[in-house]
Structure 1
Amino acid sequence: MLNLINKYLKGPARFFAVLAPLTMLVEVFMDLQQPTLMSDIIDVGVANGDMAYILRIGLKMVAFAVIGFIGGASCSLFACKAGVSMSGELRQALFEKIQSLSFSEIDHFKTSSLITRMTNDVIQVQNMLLMMLRIMVRSPLLCLGGIVMSYLLSPQLSLIFCVILPILIVSIYFVLLKSIPVFTQVQIRLDRVNTVMRENLLGIRVVKSLALEPKQFERFTGVNDALTEKSIQAQNMTFLLMPVVTLLMNASTVFILWAGGNMVILHNFEVGKIMAFVNYMVQITNSLMMTIGLVINISRAQASAERIDEVFATQPTIREDPRPQAPGNYDIEFRNVSFRYGQSGEPVLKNLSFTVRQGETLGIIGATGSGKSSLVNLIPRLYDVNTGQVLLGNVDIRKVGLEELRRNIGIVMQESILFWGTIQSNLCYGDENASENDLIRASADAQALDFIQALPQAFESPVEQRGRNFSGGQKQRLSIARTLLKKPKILILDDASSALDLKTESKLRAALIARARGSTLIVIAQRISAVMEADQILVLDHGEISAVGNHSELLQTSEIYRSIAVSQLGEEVVTYGSR
C-alpha cells in the first residue's frame, strides 16, 4: 500500500503531503498545553483568588485553541488535496493498465471486479492516505505527548502506562493480523454483488420480458447476504478493540483518581494537577480510539491495495515485438492455427490453414459455436494463437506493431456498442478528423444516412448509454459507418447485419463491395445471402474447416453448406444455382 501511495503521490500533492503533518504538529502542540494551563488556573489562580492571573491564562488558552484550529483546518485542507490528487493519478494509471490488457486478462479479472478495483478499492487507498496525514500523525503524537506531559506532572502516576500500553499494542497487532484477510474477502464479495447488479441492469429487458424479477431478487439477496455476513465479521473483529480500550482507560482513570486523591491528602500533589492528569488520560484515550479507526482503515486499505497491485502486476499476454516489422501487403494466411480460451479446456479452433489475398472477399459460415468469431478475433490480435501462425503479408502478426496492425483493420463486432454522446462523436471514433462529407458518405454506405437525417438534430442527435435509444438495426448500421470512416485495409463484419432486413442487407453488401475495392472484406454471417457472392467461403464445423470454395462449388461439395442453403433459400433455388 505504501508503495502505491509513494508512486502516485506526485508533483504539488507530495508538497501538500509534507505540509499536512507539519500543520498537524501545531494543533497537537496546542492541545497538549490546555490541561497544564487549566491546572495552573486551579492551583494558582483559584487557590490564590487571583482573577487577573485566571483571565491571563484563560486568554492564553483561547489563543492556543484558535492557533490549534488553524493548524487542524490547514492539515485537513492539505491532506485532502494530497489524497484526492494521489487517487486521481492512481485511477488514471489503473485505467491505462486495464486498457493495455488483452481480452484474456480482462476475462480473468471479470469486468465487475475491474470496476470495483477502479472505484471502491482506489477510494479505500485514498481514505487511508487522508487518515495517514491526519490521524496517523495526530494519534501517536497526542498519545506520546500526553504520556510525556503526564510524566512531567507525576512520574509515579505515569507508571500506569507501563501496564496498559503493552496490552493495547498486542491487541492492535492481533486485530491487524486477523482482519486483513477478512477484508480481502469483503472486497471479493463486493465484486460478486457488482457482477449480479451489472448483469441485471444490462439484461433488464430480458428480466422484464421473462418475468424473472423474483429469480434476480433471489440471486441478489444471496450475494448481498454473503457480503453483509462477511462485512459484519470484519467489523466485529476490529470493533473488539473499542471495549478493550474503554475498559483499560476507565480502569486507569479510577486508579489515577484513587492514587492522586491519596497524594492530595498527604499534600504531595495538587488538585489541579489531578484534573490535568485526567485530561491527558482523556486525550490519550481519544487518540487510541482514533487509532482503532485507523486500524480498521489500514486493514481494508491493505486488502484493496493488494487487489490494485494484482492488476498492475499482470503482464499482458499480447506484447509488442521490440523490433516490429511492417507487412509487405495485406494478404492473410492462417497456417496450422489452433486456439483455446484460457490455459485449459477444449480448443475452439483446430489446425486451420487458409489464405485470403488482398482485395478478396472471404465469407465464413457455420453453426453457432463453430468458432467463427474466435477466428476473426485472432487477426487483429485480440487474442494470440496457441499453436501455428497468423501471417499478414508473409509476416507473423506477432511481429507487426499493434498500432500498425489495428490501424489497418476495422472490425464490427456481433454486439454493436455505442458510447454516450452524439451520433457524430460516435462515428468519429473511426476517424476523429473526418469531414462532414466523410460522415455522410460512410453513413450512406452503411445504409444509415436516411434515418440519421430524419432525426431532428441529424448527426448531432444524442446517443444514450450503450445506444439504448436506437434499435438493433440502427446500432449495427452506425457501428458499420464508424468502422468505414477508418478506411481499413481489412474490414471484418462479425454477423454485423443480423438485425437488418434482406433489402437493406443487400444494399449494404453492394455498397461495401464497391467501397472496399482493393481492401479485404471478411464477412461472418448466418445467412447464405450475405456470403454467397464472396470469392471464397469457409465452412466451419466444431472449430475445423469443413469445406472451402465459392458458392457454386460448395453447393456441390459441402453437405453442411448445401443444407444451410436449402433451409434458407429453398430446394429449387439451390438446385438451379448449382447447375
Structure 2
Amino acid sequence: MLIGLTRRILGAHKGSVFAIVALQLVQTTASLLLPTLNAAIIDNGIVRGNVPEILRLGSWMAAIAGVQVVAAIGAGYLGAVTAMELGRKLREELFVKVQSLSSQEIGAFGAASLVTRATNDVAQVQNLVVLVFTMLIAAPAIFIGGIVLAVHQDIALSGIVVAVIPVLAVIMVLIVRRLIPLYRQGQELIDRIGRVLREQIIGASVIRGFVRQAHEIRRFEGANKELTRNNLSSALLVAGMMPLIMLVVNLSSVGVVWFGGHRIQSGEMRLGALTAFIAYILQILIAIMMAMYVVMTAPRAAACAERIQAVLDTEPAITDGPAGAAPAGNTVEFRNVSFAYPGAEVPVLDGVSFTALPGTVTAVIGATGSGKSTLLNLLPRFLDATAGTISIGGSEVRGLSLATLRSLIAFVPQHSYLFSGTLAENLRMAAPAATDEELWQVLGNAQAGAFVRRLPQGLQAPVTEGGTNFSGGQRQRLCIARALLRRSAVYVFDDSFSALDYGTDTRLRQAMAPLLHSATVLIVAERVATIEDAGLILVLEDGRFVAQGTHQQLMESSPSYQEIAASQLVLEETP
C-alpha cells in the first residue's frame, strides 16, 4: 500500500519529477564538461601562453558553472517540494487510517508508537526521497560519465578506477548490513521511550502520590540509555565510513599523480589530461559517496516504511455498513449478544438480551469489571459483538453506515475528554452551527452554566489538552452539555455522573428529563441514586443479566442489587 501510495503521489507530480530528472542531467553534464575545458585551458592556453584562448575557454567554463548552479538549485527545490508533498500525504493517510481503527487495534500499536510513525517515521521516508531526487539521480550519471571521460583521457590510468570501485563496494555492503538491524531496533526504542515518557506525564499524580519519582527516573534512564547506545553504534558506523572513503580517495589520488607524473615525463600523457583525469576520478568517487550516503540512509527509511506500511495495511475490524436511510424509530434491542476480546478464554458478555424503549431511561448497574462499558460500546460499534444482534428502530447496526449509526447516538464516554481550544469549540463538536444561546442553554441544563459564567472569557475560555484545567466534575458536566447539544434519538451515558455530588446529580437529571422525553436513554452507573428513577434497571454480573426491573422491584427481589444498594443508601432505604 505504501509503494502504491508513493507511486500515486509521484504520478500526481509527474511534471515535477521529469523536471527534476532533466535538471539533474543538465547539472551532471555541466559537471562533466568542466574538467575537459580546464584541461584545454591548461594545454592550449597556459602551456602555450595563449591568453585569448584562456579567456574564451574561461568564459565557457563560467557560463557552464552558472548553468550548473541554476540546475542544482532548481532540482533541489523541486525535489524538496515533491518530498514534502509525499510526507504530507503519508501523514494524512496515516491519520485517516487510525481514525478507522477500533480501540483494540489502536491499543495493539500503542498511542506513542502511532504518534512516532506519523511524525518521525514519515520524516525519515521524506528525507530519503529528498536524497533520491538530489543525489541518486545524479550519482549514476556522474559515475558512468566520469568513467567514460576518464578512459578517454588515458586508458592506462583507468585501471586505478577499476581497482578502487570494488573496495568501496565492500565497505558499503559491510556498513549497510550492520546499519539495517540497528536502525530497525532504533525505531522500536524511540517507541519505547515515547511510551515511557507518555505514561510518566499522564500518570504524574499517581507517581507523586506513591513517591515513585526515583523509580520512574531510573526506568526512563534505562530506556534513554538503550536508545543512546543504539544511536552511538549507528553513528560510529556512519562516522567510520567517511575516513575509510577518504583514505581510498586519497590513495587513489596519490596513485593517479604518481603514475600520471611518470606518463607525462615519458611524453605519453599531457598535463591537462592528468588534471582532467584527477577531476574525473574524484567525481567518480564522489558519485559513489553520494550513492553510499543514500544507501546508508535507506535502511532507516526502510525500517520506518515497514512500520508505516504495517499501519496502512491493517484492515479495520469494524467495517462500514451500506449507506442508506436512518431507521424510523429509536428502540434499542440487544438479542443474545456476546462479546469476547481476541484470545480471551472467557467472554466479557455472554447472551445478553434487553429492549430499551423511547421515553424510558434504561440503566445498567453492576460490579466493576462486569462488562457495563463494553455493553454500551457495542451500540455505536466502537466494538463489534462476536455473537447476537443489536438493532436501533428495527435496523441491525451492522446494516447501517457508521456515519448514519453514530449520528443517531449522543455518547458520553466514561473518561470525560475535552480537546485543546475553547469551551465553545468543544461544545460545537456536537453541533457546529449551534448559537451561543444554545450553548448557554445546554450548559445550564448540564449544571455547568454557573461556573462557565464565572470564567473571565466565558465560552471563549481556553481548554488545555484533555481539559486538565477543569476539575473532574466540571469536565463531566461539559461533556454532558456537549451530548445534549446533539439532539439525538439515542443518548448513552457511560458512568457519566460519577464525579458529581448527589445534589448536582439530581438537579442535572431533573433538567435533562424534559429534553430527553422522547429519546431512548441508556445509563451505566455505579451509584444507585443516579438510576433509582429509571424505568428499567438491568443488573449485570460476570457478563450476564441476573435481574431486571424498577428500583423498588429489585430492592425486593434481587440479592445482587440489594448488596450494591446496601453499600450506598441510607439504612432506611435498605430492606
Fold shared by both chains (TM-score > 0.5): yes
TM-score by length of 1: 0.94
Q: Which residue of 1 aligns with 2:230?
A: 230
Q: How does 1:3-152 map to 2 (within 5 A)?
A: 3-9=4-10, 11=12, 13-152=13-152
Q: Which residue of 2 aligns with 1:421?
A: 421
Query: Do the aligned residues in 2 keep the contact of 1:326 with 1:401 (CA within 8 Å)?
Result: no
Query: Do the aligned residues in 2 keep the contact of 1:23 with 1:74 (CA within 8 Å)?
Result: yes
Equivalents in 2 of 1:311, 1:345: separation in Å? 27
Let me know the Cα RMSD of the aligned residues: 2.1
Equivalents in 2 of 1:234, 1:154: separation in Å? 40
Displacement after TM superposition at 1:131 (Å): 0.8
Q: Which residue of 1 aligns with 2:215?
A: 215
Query: Do the aligned residues in 2 keep the contact of 1:104 with 1:342 (CA within 8 Å)?
Result: no
Give CA-to-partner distance per residue, 1:15-71, whole Å, 9 cap, x none. Answer: 222212221222222222222222223223221222333333333322222221111
SS at 1:491 equivalent: strand
Displacement after TM superposition at 1:134 (Å): 0.6
User: Structure 2: which amino acid aligns with 1:497?
Assistant: F
TM-score by length of 2: 0.94
Displacement after TM superposition at 1:529 (Å): 0.5
Q: Which residue of 2 aligns with 1:158?
A: 158
Give CA-to-partner distance per residue, 1:79-135, whole Å, 9 cap, x none. Answer: 111111221122112211111112222122111111111111111111111111111
Q: Which residue of 1 aligns with 2:496?
A: 496
User: Structure 1: which amino acid aligns with 2:120?
Assistant: N
SS at 1:568 equivalent: coil
What residue ranges of structure 1 are gaps of 5+ in the alignment?
A: none
Query: Do the aligned residues in 1 keep the contact of 2:331 with 2:355 (CA within 8 Å)?
Result: yes
Equivalents in 1 of 2:358, 2:181: separation in Å? 56
What residue ranges of structure 2 are gaps of 5+ in the alignment?
A: none
Give CA-to-partner distance per residue, 1:385-422, whole Å, 9 cap, x none. Answer: 11222222333211122111100111111111111111
Q: Which residue of 1 aligns with 2:530?
A: 530
Query: Do the aligned residues in 1 keep the contact of 2:30 with 2:68 (CA within 8 Å)?
Result: yes
Equivalents in 2 of 1:93, 1:559: separation in Å? 52
Give CA-to-partner distance per residue, 1:161-217, whole Å, 9 cap, x none. Answer: 333324434554555455434422221221111111122222233334443322222
Equivalents in 2 of 1:48, 1:224: separation in Å? 66
Q: 1:361 to 1:414 in 2, by over 3 A?
A: same
SS at 2:287 equivalent: helix
Equivalents in 2 of 1:343, 1:18: separation in Å? 51
- Is structure 2 residue 172 aligned with structure 1 residue 168? no
User: Structure 2: which amino acid aligns with 1:463?
Assistant: V
Q: 1:225 to 1:4 in 2, by over 3 A?
A: farther
Query: Do the aligned residues in 2 keep the contact of 1:423 with 1:459 (CA within 8 Å)?
Result: yes
User: Structure 2: which amino acid aligns with 1:356?
Assistant: A
User: Structure 2: which amino acid aligns with 1:393?
Assistant: G
Equivalents in 2 of 1:368, 1:493: separation in Å? 16
Q: Which residue of 1 aligns with 2:196?
A: 196
Displacement after TM superposition at 1:542 (Å): 2.3
Q: Which residue of 2 aligns with 1:381?
A: 381
SS at 2:185 equivalent: helix
Query: Do the aligned residues in 1 keep the contact of 2:356 with 2:522 (CA within 8 Å)?
Result: no
Q: Which residue of 1 aligns with 2:406?
A: 406
Q: How does 1:431-442 map to 2 (within 5 A)?
A: 431-442=431-442
Equivalents in 1 of 2:347, 2:384: separation in Å? 13
Equivalents in 1 of 2:308, 2:100: separation in Å? 15
Equivalents in 2 of 1:400, 1:71: separation in Å? 56
Question: How many residues are aligned here?
Answer: 574
Equivalents in 1 of 2:68, 2:330: separation in Å? 71
Give CA-to-partner distance per residue, 1:298-343, whole Å, 9 cap, x none. Answer: 1111111121111111111111234757434222222222212234
Equivalents in 2 of 1:533, 1:547: separation in Å? 17
Equivalents in 1 of 2:165, 2:309: separation in Å? 34
Q: 1:175 to 1:342 in 2, by over 3 A?
A: farther
Q: Which residue of 2 aligns with 1:289?
A: 289
User: Structure 2: which amino acid aligns with 1:331?
Assistant: T
Displacement after TM superposition at 1:233 (Å): 3.8
